[in-house]
Structure formats: C-alpha cells, structure tokens
Structure 1
C-alpha cells in the first residue's frame, strides 16, 4: 500500500487501487473468520440433557393426520445438517421399540407424561390408533407419525385400546417380535366408574350406571359385554398377548401405585426399558385438589405441570350394593389375572 501511495500514478488511479486493496483485505479476513466459526459442532447428546433430566421440549411431539413432521421436536426435529467436517448427526423417524397398550382410564396418560421427562425416550404425544383403526395405512404411514430420535433413544407411543382389540397382538408381533409392552392396570371396579364418568361428561343423557351394569335387573346378571366392564376382564385380554409375546416382554404398572408412589413405579418402568433411573421422586409433588401426583416446574418454567381438567374428575356416586355385586363379579377374574402375571394387586 505504501508503495502504491508513493507511486507516480495519477491520484485517481491510486485511490481506485487503494480501495480495491482494502476491500480484498477486509473480505479475506471475514472469510477466514467464517471458516473458523463453521467448525462449531452440533451439541452432543450429553450436552442436550439438562442437569435434572428436564427436557420436556424434546419429547413434546404430537402426531398429525397427514404424517407431517411432529410439532415441538426442537433441535432434534429431523436429520440435522452435516457440519463442515462432513459428519452427520442423525435424528430419524423409526418404528417404536415400546408401546403402552392399555388400559383405558388406568393411568396411561400420566405414565406417558412422566416417561417423557427421560432424555432417552421419544414419545408420541397423541394416540395414533394404528393397530386397531388405521392398520390398512401401512407401517410406512405409522413410522411417519413417530417423533424423530437419535441412536440410543427409545421411540414409544400409547394407545390404550390396543390391549382389548382382538387383532392387535398379532399385528404388533408382525411389526416387531422384540417390542416391549407396558400395561397400566387398575381396580376394574373403580376403572369402570371412571370410564362411565368420562362417558357422561360427553353424553350426559345416557342411563345411570346402575341400569347399564345389569343384563337383567331381576336376576342381577352382570352385563360383561358393556365396554366399561368388559375392559376390566384383564386375564381374558392378556391371554391373547401371551399367545404372541413372552411374559418377560410385558410390564405391568399398578395404576394405584402410580398415584401413591409415582417415582417407584417409574423406576420399575425405566428398568424394564433398560434405561438409567433419571425420573425420580424429585420430579413429583402430590396435588391434593386433583388427587394425584403432578410434575414440579421444569427449568425455564414458572408453573408446575399437571394433567388436564379431563383427568381427576369426581366420580359418579354409585349404589354401594351395585359396587359389591361388581366386586363379587370381578373376584374370580382378578384371581386368574394374578396367577397369570405372578402378582397380586390387592383389589378387593
């Protein structure tokens, strides 16, 4: 530059050359700086996991009816761009390795929400009903509904109707012989009342519970085919699953203990899935108003997280004599279920 400025060239030409030289130097510096910054690596799996295991945003996906990318997938929402070294951090859609298959009104939504706290679980927020309603759409469609996950993360979904649908065990088995199955069970009498309570919230003009329970009021014969009662015949439904899957691939969660000791039940589920026990008692508090545990406020949030208003409804008041008849009806079914699973749930 000094040489150019002291040269005998006319002043105008000197100024032009000087300007071009400065532009060249400046753009060269900037280019060098950008090249260095392009080496910033994609955050590692460990870095993405916050100190307490709270990473609800990563597991906040929900399905769309057209198989479009699920909402709320954050930084892991797809196949990440290759960095400057040519390496690729992949998060892809794949078929689930675990399913919560039942039962309705047993606590499946609570279990799903609690499990979604785990950084190694990627769970679909909505119920896809693939194996009972949309099977004809095929596995490619089913895969498209799943949230994207990194290697090592477990993909899962929950559809409580699977447990009682006759065709479902064989269909699930044809997808994967190794899939892990989770069933949340609850006292079938209180489950039936909870089911009925949900029904009347949507169709308030249906007959009273007591009149729907019996086939014949005179003889007192129970209508075991009425859906709220039929779902509670757990041994009958489980028998179909055991025809296709070994008992070791089916984990039972107590709906009652999921309320009284959520951390204890979650610990067993994490063990069953082969995961580190990250979701612990530090994540929960008991909400006296709702009558069940809620999640303590996550990082970056000023509010605790409880399940919606459709959960924890006040149950309909049922005639005590009808309750006792139902308990007598379920007693042999419960005993058979206990023998099948090798566990006594203590339902009266």
Structure 2
C-alpha cells in the first residue's frame, strides 16, 4: 500500500498538469482565433469605410463636375497641361472633368527637409483621389525675395475642384533663405498646412552627397568635382564647418543667430549645406513661431521608410481628407524590398499568402517610387563607419536640442561616446 499510494499521487499530479496544459493550449488557440477574427472584422470595417468615401467622392464629381470630350490618346486626370490649354475643347471620344476646376493656392506644402523622404511621401499621397500635384512638384515660389504675386503661384498649381487639395513640395523652404519664409507663407495662404519630414542627419548627409555626385556626373559642375568619396568630402569640410559653428555658438546664445549665419553661408558655399541642412534645431523655432501642431506636421523620415502606410494614414487625418489610403495598401517589393503602393481589397486579404508567394504577379500590380529613390539604402553605396561616427558625434547635441524643441524624440543613430 505504501508503494501504490505515491504512485497514484504522482499519476494524479501528471494527469492534472496535462489537463491544465490542454486547457491553457485550448484557451491560447481560442484567443488567437479571436484575434484573427477581430483583425479580419477591423479590416473589413476599414475597407467598407474606404469604399463609402470613394463612392461619396465619385457621386460628388457626377453631381457637381460636368464633363467635356477629349481625345483618347491624351486623356489625363485634372491638372494636366492639355486640359489647362484646351478647357473649351469638344470632340467625340473620352470625357474629362473640366467644369468647376480652377487653379487654387495649395492647401498643403511639403517644406523639407532635403533627402528625408518628402518626394516619397508626396508621391504616395498622390494616389488619393482628392490630392493633386502640380506638373513640377517643386515650385520654389517662396525662395526668392521678390514681391509675392499669388496669381503667378496659382497658375503653377494643378486644376482642382472645391474639394480637392492642391499640394506642392519644395524641400529647400525649411533651411534656406529668405529668413521670413514662415511669415510669408502664412500671410499668403491663411489656411495652409505644412509637412516637415526630418531624418537622421548622419545618413541624410550621405544621401545628399550621393545625390550631388550624381548631379556632377550629369552636369559636370565644379562644386563636387574633387570629392570622389564621401570620406574625402567629410574629412575636408567637417573640421572647417564645425569650427565655424563653434565660433558662432560661442559668440551668441541665440539659435536664431546661428540660423542667420548658416543661411548666409549657404549663399557663398553651397556644398556646406550638405552638412548644415542636418542642423534642424537652428531652423525649427522660426516655423513653430508661425505654425502649431494643427498646421505643422513633423514626420520622422526613418519611420516612413519602415512603415509608410501608418504615416500616410496620419497625414490624411492631418490634411483633413477621407482615409482612403490604408496602411495595408503599402507592401514591400519582393526584389528591392522598398515599399510600393497597391490598393488592398477583401479579395487580396483572403489570397494574401498565395499572392505574396507569387512575386511576378505581385510586382505587376505594384506602383513604386522612381528607381533613383533609395540610392543609399539599396546596399550598393555605403559610407565607412568611422566617417559616420564623426557625423553622429557632431550632430548629437543639435539632435537633442531639436527633440527638446518639438517635445518628441526619434530613434536616430547615437554616437558611441556622448
């Protein structure tokens, strides 16, 4: 009896443990199924909301925007050059929306910063039926000191109806002259909203260097002629630039003075802007003095690279347009691994695994950014760690000041020793 009793107790414990494991496993599977079901329901609701918005936009156009005929070969959406010069054209063929379209001032402007993803953000937003871009995305209207002629500015914008949003981007607005650009923009377009995309200034500097070298190879300008490598550019220019910055900071306690010095330097030494464009703290206050969180949206460009769909959803809310571009619409290209746009549907959701495994079929349906985008992120061009570390150390205090100014921190690279 003394031998059997421990045996029964051990067997009882084992059976209870096994039963508890089975119950826990069953509960875990139930939760997983509930989670999958919840995701599916959430996605279906998001799709229905988008379909409702798209139908409402279509109904508005049918009711308020009349059509005329245009040749099949040149049918383009509103805002194209042909429509602007042939608004009264009539012929038998495909119809185009024209009535109620006019040149309006932009409601949204991308003000920078160079090489941080402004172009990518604007191009993805361009898939929205209520967003319209000018023929030349970068207008440069507020870069000069001449008297502002808003009629000239309007003519640079695409044709839009009352509900559409004209949008332009000129990344040099943020860090270049004239200094009073925030005041000029605000007084010119009272209800305008600005998008500022910043990114890790170390990788940004490398990206702009590669961009300028590519321009040199095309146009043979003298500025970048002798800098065959990023290392040679940094080794020659960073010490001089850093010395100037330290001198300016020692002579003044104001970031506005530093901004003025940087802007003046850019007029005579443009190559130095490859480095100075990453000092966001020198410029942010002049914009925040005129625009608040409801009119100035600051985006982390590094996050945009990793999760563009969430950024695009946030921007639709910020602009005030229906959310018809969903995070599920943005998928990685099977070859390049960069994100592309493809409208996601309930059918896609059901067949997602099959389609993702069929790369050729998926690629045919993707709308990607131009191949020139991501030149420094495709692994074909790299900078040496030692050079990047010099830049991280240089930018670190300015990054910390910038985070303090905007009351938000981004996950950018840190120097090994701070």
Same fold (TM over 0.5): yes
Rounded to whole Å, the distance in 2 between the matches of 1:102 and 1:157 is 11
Rounded to whole Å, the distance in 2 between the matches of 1:212 and 1:162 is 25
| C-alpha spacing 1:189/1:249, structure 2 compared with 1 (3 Å) | same
Q: Is the 8 A contact 1:298 1:304 kept in 2?
A: no
Match of 2:314 among 268, 278, 293: 268
* Structure with the higher fraction of residues in helix conformation: 2
Q: What's the counterpart of residue 242 of structure 1?
A: 288
Secondary structure, aligned partner of 1:157: strand
| C-alpha spacing 1:132/1:48, structure 2 compared with 1 (3 Å) | same
Does 1:329 find its partner at 2:394?
Answer: yes
Q: What's the counterpart of residue 132 of structure 1?
A: 143
Q: What's the counterpart of residue 117 of structure 2?
A: 107
Q: Is the 8 A contact 1:223 1:229 kept in 2?
A: no
Match of 2:323 among 271, 277, 280: 277
Rounded to whole Å, the distance in 2 between the matches of 1:342 and 1:256 is 18
Aligned length: 282
Q: What's the counterpart of residue 308 of structure 1?
A: 370
Q: Is the 8 A contact 2:112 2:170 kept in 1?
A: yes
How far does residue 303 in structure 1 lie from its aligned partner after superposition? Answer: 4.7
Q: Is the 8 A contact 2:281 2:401 kept in 1?
A: yes
| C-alpha spacing 1:302/1:328, structure 2 compared with 1 (3 Å) | closer
Secondary structure, aligned partner of 2:294: helix
Q: Is the 8 A contact 2:312 2:327 kept in 1?
A: no
Q: Is the 8 A contact 1:214 1:223 kept in 2?
A: no
Q: What's the counterpart of residue 197 of structure 1?
A: 210
Rounded to whole Å, the distance in 1 between the matches of 2:106 and 2:323 is 20
Task: Identify the range of structure 1 (168-177 vs 338-347) with the bigger mean alpha-carbon deviation.
Answer: 168-177
Rounded to whole Å, the distance in 1 between the matches of 2:305 and 2:402 is 21
Q: What's the counterpart of residue 199 of structure 2?
A: 186
Q: Is the 8 A contact 2:328 2:344 kept in 1?
A: no
Rounded to whole Å, the distance in 2 between the matches of 1:134 and 1:143 is 18
Q: Is the 8 A contact 2:294 2:318 kept in 1?
A: no
Rounded to whole Å, the distance in 2 between the matches of 1:312 and 1:244 is 32
**Unpaired runs of at least 5, structure 2:** 1-54, 62-75, 88-94, 218-224, 246-261, 263-271, 346-362, 414-418
Q: What's the counterpart of residue 11 of structure 1?
A: none
Task: Identify the range of structure 1 (316-325 vs 212-221) with the bigger mean alpha-carbon deviation.
Answer: 212-221
Does 1:117 find its partner at 2:117?
Answer: no
How far does residue 344 in structure 1 lie from its aligned partner after superposition? Answer: 0.8
Cα-Cα RMSD: 3.3
Rounded to whole Å, the distance in 2 between the matches of 1:219 and 1:177 is 41
How far does residue 134 in structure 1 lie from its aligned partner after superposition? Answer: 8.4
Q: What's the counterpart of residue 248 of structure 2?
A: none
Whichever of the two has the greater Rg, that structure is 1
State the Cα deviation string for residues 122-171 of structure 1 (Å, max 9, x = none).
Answer: 22242111111485572111101111111122221111111112322222
Rounded to whole Å, the distance in 2 between the matches of 1:180 and 1:278 is 20
Rounded to whole Å, the distance in 1 between the matches of 2:315 and 2:86 is 28
Q: What's the counterpart of residue 166 of structure 2?
A: 155
Secondary structure, aligned partner of 1:251: strand
Q: Is the 8 A contact 2:112 2:195 kept in 1?
A: yes
Q: What's the counterpart of residue 106 of structure 2?
A: 96
**Unpaired runs of at least 5, structure 1:** 1-42, 50-56, 81-89
Q: Is the 8 A contact 2:106 2:166 kept in 1?
A: yes
Q: Is the 8 A contact 1:215 1:222 kept in 2?
A: no
Rounded to whole Å, the distance in 1 between the matches of 2:172 and 2:275 is 14
Q: What's the counterpart of residue 404 of structure 2?
A: 339
Rounded to whole Å, the distance in 2 between the matches of 1:75 and 1:298 is 27
Secondary structure, aligned partner of 2:159: coil
Rounded to whole Å, the distance in 2 between the matches of 1:149 and 1:217 is 46
Write out the 4+ residue segments of structure 1 that deviate beyond 4 Å after TM superposition: 61-64, 67-70, 133-137, 214-225
Q: TM-score under structure 2 normalisation?
A: 0.60
